[in-house]
Chains A and B, each alone.
Chain A
Amino acid sequence: MPSGLLLSGLRRARDRQPERVAVRCGTPEEGWVETTWAQLYDAARSVAARSVAARAHATGATAPVVVVVDGTAESIATMVGLVAAGVDVLLLEAHSSYLSDPGSPVHTVRPRIVVGPPGLAGPVGAGHETPAGVRYETYERFRAPAGGDPPTGTRAGEILQLTSGSTGEPRITRQPLSHVLTGGRLYRRLFAITERDTVLVAVPVAHSYGLAGLCSALLSGATLVTLPRFSLRTLVAGLYDGATILLGTPLLYRLLTPILSGRGPTPHLRTALSAGGPMPADTADITAALGTPVRQIYGTTEAGLIACVPSATTAWPPGSVGFAAPGVTLRLDGADGTGRLSVRTPMMFLGYHGSDRPVVTPDGFYDTGDLVRVDPDGFVFVLGRKESVVNVGGRKVGPTRIERLLLDHCGVRDAVVFGVERADHEQEMHAALVLAPGTRVDEVLEFCRSQLQPYEVPHRVHVLDRLPRNGMGKVDRGQLVAAVEHGQLARS
């Protein structure tokens, strides 16, 4: 497929509206930083030109480039430019703990180059190689001198994304750019996004949901608003300052409700989207605060968009994630419209990096592992997601990696990590630990904090003499969750 699709989309928007704002980025230090379509296109083209030039000198296959896509225009231009030049790009969220974790799958792609904001390189410094042979570059340095040629005729790069891994370590999914763009186009169509819209993506754009929102804005010529560092005040300011479409999570809507309730509905917001977990059963106060109902989106990193409530749909049953998106076929393994869901979608991934194992059935269906119900009208209800993943405010954390890092602490003898729902329906991450004599919980948590992002560090720790294991030696998470819910475990 032609490679310049996203880049040529930017060019067309640049030709139509060069001085209009393409990306507004809310930053704590500098307020709103605005980038026009002309600037965004030039930056992306320059990244592409540099990469094409660099590849002309390279021999053999090139490793994927890791890009920290933090939502700044520079990070978006870097991603767009690289894939246009035919380079595979592994997307990382800002401050990802995967870079410094030698056991994380990021290192299995053997990246030679990591591009991110200034400071990412640490003491090594941008442009120098680490002992492991990785070179860190800033967005600014990773460009061609002015006037490079845009690439033509090369194959587009793949988009690689991290997925939490419900039964093991996190894995890396491979998506052709065309599938990612299909996701963006579906959002554009389903939510009627045009260049008059302002799409506020209040979730990380390095993950599939935020990326789809990003692509929908770029392909529509709409203004994209991002929040590289989360701030409710900046988000609220963005909402009252012209946002027409909001991409959030259940937690985000929960946080916004009391704030917006005191101020009255946002004037321009017409579509509020939520993904990442179930919305609370009663959404009346959220709807009143926003002035529009929250429409749920259901999808996975592997399969892309599966179901949603489009803008044109005005009534749907409470709790439903809408109906199957265009081109999506649902298949249940049970009778009566309930069962484990397999899907065939136009955004299906190619597979996991480093694995040749087929990920879909011969007729193209991917097993989501989720339990769903589809009612006679076609509305989909997600009854249960893959079991062991902990959903921390919409961010999926696989327990295996956290357990491995806990066990790296010399005072931790055994560890299991599991999610527990709080009174406000948000999940917290709990860890049950067997500790060596003299080891304190605060030391263990400090150790975790030195290696993980805050949301990946267990919120509660239970110290046990031994972990409950079944005859196969597998820890019984269900028993631990029940014990926590019945107040039988001391917490700290």
Chain B
Amino acid sequence: MVDQPTDLRTVIGTVMGEVLVRGPLAPDEDFFEAGGDSLRAIEVLQRLGVHEEVGERLGTTEMQALLLEGIFDNASPSGLSSFVTANA
């Protein structure tokens, strides 16, 4: 696999874990299976949008809209991370 965005995956897993008040999600763990709902999904995206490492990239209006549409179907850290890479 070329350019697998490991860092982004880790960041997403950590943020999802913070929102659920637990440890980071494993790369293939589904956010909604782990207890996420729509409000928590919005919060994940908001936190990613202001994150010190990835916020610049994920905080734009276009990217936030894209993420919003994508997170319900790509709900794992690796799924969402690949979705970002594919749509960047």
Contact = CB atoms under 8 A, between A and B. Distances in A.
Interface of A: 28, 230-234, 236, 251, 255, 258-259, 261-262, 392-393, 422, 424, 426, 428, 441-442, 445-446, 449, 453-455, 457, 459, 461, 492
Given A455-B37, A459-B39, A445 B73 contact: no
Interface stretch (B8-16, B48-56, B60-68): B60-68
A239 to B, nearest CB: 12
A442 B65 CA distance: 30
A392 B39 contact: yes
B38 interface: yes
Given A445-B20, A492-B21, A230 B38 contact: yes
Contacts of B21: 441-442, 445, 461, 492
B57 interface: no
A492 B22 CA distance: 10
30 contacts: A28-B73, A230-B38, A231-B73, A232-B68, A232-B69, A232-B72, A233-B72, A233-B73, A236-B69, A251-B38, A251-B39, A255-B68, A258-B64, A259-B69, A392-B37, A392-B39, A393-B37, A393-B38, A422-B39, A426-B39, A428-B39, A445-B20, A445-B21, A445-B35, A449-B34, A454-B32, A454-B36, A455-B37, A459-B39, A459-B40
B5 interface: no
Contact of A258 (B34, B35, B65, B73): B65
A449 B73 contact: no
A259 B22 contact: no
B26 interface: no
B22 A442 contact: yes
A230 B40 contact: no
B42 interface: yes
Contact of B22 (A234, A422, A426, A445): A445
Shortest 10 CB-CB contacts between residues of A and residues of B: A454-B37, A258-B65, A455-B37, A449-B35, A231-B72, A232-B69, A454-B35, A232-B72, A259-B69, A442-B22
A450 to B, nearest CB: 10
Contacts of B65: 258-259, 261-262
A207 to B, nearest CB: 16
Nearest to B20: A445
Contacts of A231: 72-73
A364 B38 CA distance: 39
B63 to A, nearest CB: 11
A459 B22 CA distance: 12
A425 to B, nearest CB: 12
Contacts of B72: 230-233
Given A232-B72, A255-B68, A258-B64, A457 B39 contact: no
A454 B20 CA distance: 10
A418 to B, nearest CB: 15
A409 to B, nearest CB: 14
Nearest to B65: A258
Contacts of A453: 37
A393 B42 CA distance: 11
Interface in B52-88: 61-62, 64-65, 68-70, 72-73
Contacts of B36: 454
A231 B30 CA distance: 14
Nearest to A252: B38
Contact of B40 (A232, A255, A454): A454
Contacts of A251: 38-39
B35 to A, nearest CB: 4
A233 B69 contact: yes
Contacts of B34: 449
A23 B69 CA distance: 24
A445 B19 CA distance: 12
